Amino acid sequence: MREAHDIERQVGIDYYVSDADGIGGRLRDSPADFRVTELELFDTEPVDADPGAYPHLVVRATLRDWDTNDFAGALSDRLGISRERVSWAGTKDKRAVTTQLFSVDGIDPDDLPDLSDADVEVLGRAGRPILFGDLAGNRFEITVRTPDAPGNVADITDDLQTFAGVEDAGPDEGNPVAVPNYFGQQRFGSIRPVTHEVGLAIARGDWEGAVMAYVGSPHDREPEQTREARAVAETGDWRAALDVFPRHLGYERSMLHRLVESAGDEDPADFREALETVPTNLQQLFVNAAQSYVFNRILSERLERGLPFTTPVVGDVVCFTDSDAPGGLALPDTSRTQRVTETRHQSITRHCERGRAFVTAPLVGTETELADGEPGDIERKVLEDVGIAPEDFDRPGEFHSEGTRRAIAVRTDLTVDRDPLTFSFDLPKGSYATVLMREYLKRDPDDR
């Protein structure tokens, strides 16, 4: 196995599974080079349904070069409503063309504003908002520009087919491939990967440390003005930091505003309240990023020990497929799990080989029960290394998490077109296209 890039190792991604040389090249020379379309799993009523019973207007938006949070903020601003009334199923990359669902509470179709680089189609109404996870998956079409060695595609694909347990690999059209189901770099911040550090501090009950990880912690990949502002924040002079913090860093500024209000009378509750000034989905993301980091570390440790990913060993916990998933998409249902014992090992292995079950690892929370055997040893070792335990996620409000489990490998049928070099594939919800693409490019993830 090859070691990953340094910045990937900061978020727990320690290895590539492909030993073949990368193709190099660039992603996202233009937003159209990275197209994402949600595979929808959300039912609506007709648009003329009773708004009293169905208050949430559901739209399908195709966005060009829009951050999901920024689009929701712009939409709510133009509507003159709280951003909490705008909901969506999954956050997408900014530099892309994305097609995704949104719901907006308490508006009519005629209220929708025109926003640049956004095509909005009204689908109907719903009795509840769209929530995170209310989709089956995503369809990707990704073009790599100026690849250095496009001929390496075949060797990399062979390695990923071997990882998937596929024998007698054929040509690279419609190839079944698999990769570790890492959380991608963007989960933690592509330029400045710190959201997991915020979440780990929250889990430890270190509210001041969580704030400082977010507003402080200057990173050498940031602009000089931003680094200098973060350095001022690290002195604890909140007003001076607020004076120099760039205007576009609105979340950091909102935290600093709250700390200015409490200057001279700070206690842990003030720092927690500063964290609570950011949108609720970002509060949740801090904790989710900590869980994601631990998960990535568990996968890297499993790779290092040479344990399989697509078939179980005794002690593993597996989950089964979601019977409601759209045809052709293998969607793990982590509400249906089973421990792998000596007596069950053979039968569960057959289920995994046939795509009916998936080996899992924990997204640690208060309800987490760790695996047995060597997989359990790995989980406990990683938790000890990062200094947290499942009960540490018993925190107030949006910072609380019961945890769940997640498949440790993601498999897809990959199609590669050569001119231009374009990769097309579907992934289940929560899996990252960049985790597959990194195996092909093998370069700094910030080199777009």
Strand ranges, E, within 166-260 = 173-180
Distance of alpha carbon 225 from the chain centroid? 28
Tell whether the model's pLDDT for residue 49 goes beyond 80.
Answer: yes
Average pLDDT over residues 193-204: 97
> How high is the pLDDT of residue 263?
72
Write the class of the CATH domain 42-133.
alpha beta
Residues 6+ apart with CB under 8 A from 179: 17, 160, 163, 409, 410, 435, 436, 439
> How high is the pLDDT of residue 251?
94
Q: What are the phi and psi torsion angles at 349 (to 5°)?
A: -60, -40
Tell whether the model's pLDDT for residue 170 goes beyond 80.
Answer: no
pLDDT level of residue 324 (50, 70, 90 thresholds): confident
**What does the pLDDT look like over 70-95, one tens digit per residue?**
999 999 999 999 999 999 998 888 88
Tell whether the model's pLDDT for residue 328 goes beyond 70.
Answer: no
Average pLDDT over residues 369-392: 97
Average pLDDT over residues 396-423: 95
Express as a percent the part of the chain with pLDDT over 90.
82
Burial class of residue 346 in the structure, from the number of CB atoms within 10 Å of its CB (0-12 exposed, 13-18 middle, 19+ buried):
exposed
Tell whether the model's pLDDT for residue 239 goes beyond 60.
Answer: yes
Identify whether 155 is a catalytic site residue: no
> How high is the pLDDT of residue 330?
81
> How high is the pLDDT of residue 327?
64
Q: Do domains 195-278 and 289-407 have the same CATH topology?
A: no
- Asked if 36 and 87 count as a contact pair (C-beta separation under 8 A), the reply is no
Q: Catalytic residue, from 65, 93, 134, 159: name it.
A: 93
Residue owning tokens 């049928």: 413
Of the candidates 55, 72, 54, which has an alpha carbon nearest to the alpha carbon of residue 63?
Answer: 72
> How high is the pLDDT of residue 69?
86
Tell whether the model's pLDDT for residue 428 goes beyond 60.
Answer: yes
Nearest-angstrom CA–CA distance, 139 and 36: 6
Q: Is the pTM here over 0.85, yes or no?
A: yes
Tell whether the model's pLDDT for residue 118 goes beyond 90.
Answer: yes
Tell whether the model's pLDDT for residue 169 goes beyond 60.
Answer: no
The answer to whether domain 289-407 has CATH 1.10.287.3510 is: no
> How high is the pLDDT of residue 175?
83
> How high is the pLDDT of residue 226?
95
Task: Give the architecture-level CATH label for domain 195-278.
Answer: Orthogonal Bundle (1.10)
pLDDT averaged over the chain? Answer: 93
Ordered alpha helix ranges (H), 276-421: 280-305, 345-353, 373-386
Q: What are the phi and psi torsion angles at 425 (to 5°)?
A: -170, 160
Tell whether the model's pLDDT for residue 369 goes beyond 60.
Answer: yes
Q: Where are the domains of the chain?
A: 2-32+137-181+410-441, 42-133, 195-278, 289-407
Tell me how far CA of residue 247 lies from CA of 219, 229, 241, in angstroms.
18, 11, 12
